[in-house]
Chain A
Amino acid sequence: MYVAVKGGEDAIRNAHDLLARRRRGDPEVPEIGLDQIAEQLALAVDRVMAEGSLYDRELAALAIKQARGDLIEAIFLARAFRTTLPRFGSSDPVDTGAMRIHRRISATFKDLPGGQVLGPTFDYTHRLLDETLATWARGEEGASALVAASGESTQAAPVPPLAAQENHAALPENGADRGADEMPVAAPMPRVTDLLGDEGLVEASPVDDGSTPPDLTRTPLSFPAERPLRLQALARGDEGFLLALGYSSQRGYARTHPFVGEIRFGTVEVSLFAEELGFAVPLGDIALTECQSVNQFKGSATQPPQFTRGYGLVFGQSERKAMSMALVDRTLRFAELGEEKSAPAQDEEFVLSHCDNVQATGFVEHLKLPHYVDFQAELELVRRMRAEQEQAAEPVSEPSQQEAAE
């Protein structure tokens, strides 16, 4: 039971003022702008949008600044903000097949139609700290020994030239050759799963029966949860939690044996059907990461063996999250695919009830708020139990008393 406390107003106000000063840090160091956060800490912004379940780069950057870089706190701020806005409706489902590709790779086919493009990736980097990035907004004076030793300027890190600028042959056919003021249309990019699907070697996506998908922001989670509801919960779920669960399934806690069929990152157009207009209005583009996992197969008397699939789709560029989501989406499908339940990653109630980091942090962190009355009651109880135990330990003269003590 939680009993309210009173008082402490001055202390709280002063603590918040102190927080604001600590947030600003050394006033000699220039204040960070939302554009700097959005541009240079873009993946932190993406994570806040994904788990805050709110696509708005500027807002996510503000949340990160206000939260002093604490991303779960920033996600909390984004979730709180969304409750202040009315909802205009639901978009038409985005078409990731028409994505303007920034990155697309497959671990299953090296020569897939449309090709593999690495895009801006940490893959194949050596994970060595790059001294040339050690620049200082305040100037040379603030430079650390790391930079001082290298003797480099502290003003700006060098930016490598674009390979594309040196090699015009690399320009794609659409875009460069078309009229200068026509926006090039992204060529439809087949999914790896379509290639296998043509031969019936991989299961098809669940059929769109025209029903409205459940929405956990409107109706609380309930179990059993159907796949659309699970996908919504996973899409906004904590990256670390889903990463650990996906990892556990790879290590043998639920045997799914995944391949990454395809990962793509890029932008898609979002459109909203406007009642008053009677047609779908394009709203602009959002960046998404999609992961298709291809998993081991099962056949039955009626169905020849085929690969099964897991699916991940996340706001922004977040491959780790999209892959983890695909792994966990697949483990949660155990019943439908006739597999044995043997691991936490298959337990939808366990996974979905604990993947939301705003709920999780709320419940964990509430423990630090005053619980004085609760604790007093327990303290009383422990004192009484100890007293009773002491009494019981003494040589018993009247057995009736011992009975009463129990």
Chain B
Amino acid sequence: MEKVIEVQNLTKKFGDFTAVDHISFEVYKGEIFGFLGANGAGKTTAMRMLCGLLPPTSGKGLVAGFDIHTQSEEVKRNIGYMSQKFALYEDLKVWENIRLYGGIYGVPEDEIIKKTDELLKRLGFEKERNSFVKSLPLGWKQKLAFSVAIFHEPKIVFLDEPTGGVDPVTRRQFWEMIYEAADRGITVFVTTHYMDEAEYCDRVSIMVDGRIDALDSPKNLKNQFKANNMDGVFQQLARRASRKAD
């Protein structure tokens, strides 16, 4: 299987504090990989390194075939990223956001025009082409933000708590979009605090105190920890944490 992320002993220290402590794992093409952990466990730091935004202190990481330390610009160009906190420009229109992100990711002009029509049609947003993003309901914004994040067909998309605060129906529709992207071969790397969403992932890793303390399919993790659901697994692991960042 093609590996889209390969990480060995990846470590990040801030002074005396080891935020990420020798983590090693692989993520495969088309996989939905859940990246869980308590607040302060090191998820955000690890994710920033994987996106080429923060150089590691030691260890090695390849994302979409590029070294996160020496080729961070190539990494940035070959991934997609979406978070709940930052996604789209509210004061730009729907088509302007698509145009902007397409341009940033280097999609040729004529292709942007063609793909914008396709995208708006697929989402049923044709009427909203000229609407300002701030006027859209939250659920629509999130669907649009996800589509924009994968507009340049990256090998992998990073989703940082993409569904926070969304109503239950929209949250599920969002996950159906994630499945479609994965079926097309896009790898999905996702963090969430909703433990039912952890069940939707092919494999899940759980970080505790900067380390990856568990990594497997939700089914195997539930067996291993004798838990009925992923919340049970998470509670057992996170309570082990000695780090009191929170």
The answer on A and B forming one complex is no
Give me the interface of B with A, judged by CB distance under 8 Å.
none
Give me the interface of A with B, judged by CB distance under 8 Å.
none
